[in-house]
Amino acid sequence: MLRHKLSTPDLSEVELRQALMRQGGGWLTGDAALAAIVLWSSGQFDTNAIAAVLTVREDAVCRTLAMARDGARADARAAR
């Protein structure tokens, strides 16, 4: 069995995130997800503005916010 070593180009985290979002990546992770949640919670930004600031697709921001909201609901139910 042949094993090929995969070479990955040197991409910055931002470039990698942008490439994944162009491919239709699902949601944000890490600092980008936290930033999206904080910006949305402030009430001063819409999803389009958040996507522009984070240089990601708006649908990824929407999915991330929906996941955060669903997680918060699950936590609230578990606390009862």
Task: Render pLDDT for 31-65 as a digit per residue (tens, 0 to 9).
Answer: 999 999 999 999 999 999 999 999 998 999 999 99
Give the side-chain half-sphere CA count within 13 A for 17.
17
Task: Read off the pTM.
Answer: 0.63
Pick the residue with more confidence: 17 or 76? Answer: 76
Residue 6 has pLDDT above 50, yes or no: no
Strand (E) or helix (H) holding 54? helix 47-54
Residue 1 has pLDDT above 50, yes or no: no
In this predicted structure, what is the pLDDT of residue 73?
Answer: 77
Spatial contact of 75 and 40, defined as CB atoms under 8 Å apart: no
In this predicted structure, what is the pLDDT of residue 19?
Answer: 66
Instruction: Tell which residue, 79, 71, 78, has the closest CA to residue 27.
Output: 71
